[in-house]
Structure 1
């Protein structure tokens, strides 16, 4: 009888964990502006190291949240001003087993670091539109407004 009680507690705990992950995902997607994507977090083994998640567009940032995580904060934040897409390619070798066939891999650079992002081909169009829709010029390139200083009173 005691084994059955322990088994019941384990099943209940597993259901609570799955419910928490599901609710977190629903909360992230509730605000809109989200996409499914994968980010390559490790290049140790060719074709491996991909992490599934949700990309959330917030202003000039793409926030990557891992799919199966309890964390509320994003795992990675990509800024539109420093993100550049170099080239695109189709999944190769072991990548074809972990991604749907209609996904595309984008080789991006963020400052000095290189990053690979995978998403559906239809999502790539929206992602590139968001990337190009940023304000023109570099941060701080806008000329400052002139300051008006009061003139001394004439006596």
Structure 2
């Protein structure tokens, strides 16, 4: 009888451990790929009142791919094609967004053309990742069709007499 209970407990532990092992293995695979970085995002489809969804950003050719940390799929949840994505001015996290794991993160809103309109996603990442994303967006190859938004001209400086 005790042997049957012990076998049942072992099988139950193995069955419960398999999903955890798969999620951890997926996360390790994502983080170890070239061009990957930690990147959290506020999902519009998330339940109201929810906060940042932790994930991994990854540069893949001419796209930035985003994967949520807790998921089964090896396909990205979101793709940001370089020729249809514009980075809006970055900002610091606000008081309600700050959490210990996001202590030094900055928020970079990415605007992406979808069909006839645009959508904006807020991505939170460490300063080196912010630099990497902005550099990647600005470093589009010639003739790719990527156009930076027009910035207003700098204010004119007065000449000293």
The alpha carbon displacement at 1:82 in A equals 1.1
The aligned counterpart of 2:26 is: 24
Q: Find the counterpart in structure 2 of residue 130 from structure 1.
A: 136
Separation of aligned partners in 2, 1:30 and 1:101: 23
TM-score where L is the length of structure 2: 0.74
- What stretches of structure 2 of length at least 5 have no aligned partner? 147-161
Larger Rg: 1
Is the 2:63–2:79 contact (alpha carbons within 8 Å) kept by the matching residues of 1? yes
- Flag the 1:49–1:7 CA change in 2: closer, same or farther, 3 A: same
Deviations 1:112-154 (A, max 9, x none): 11111110012111111111111234549xxxxxxxxxxxxxx
Secondary structure of the equivalent of 1:74?
coil
Task: Answer 1 or 2: which has greater strand percent.
Answer: 1
- Is 1:40 the equivalent of 2:21? no
Deviates more, 1:37-46 or 1:21-30: 37-46
Q: Which runs of 5+ in 1 are unaligned?
A: 141-155
SS of the counterpart of 2:11? helix
Aligned length: 139
* Cα deviation 1:76-134 (Å, max 9, x = unaligned): 11111111111111111331126421000112211111111110012111111111111
Shift of 1:32: 1.0
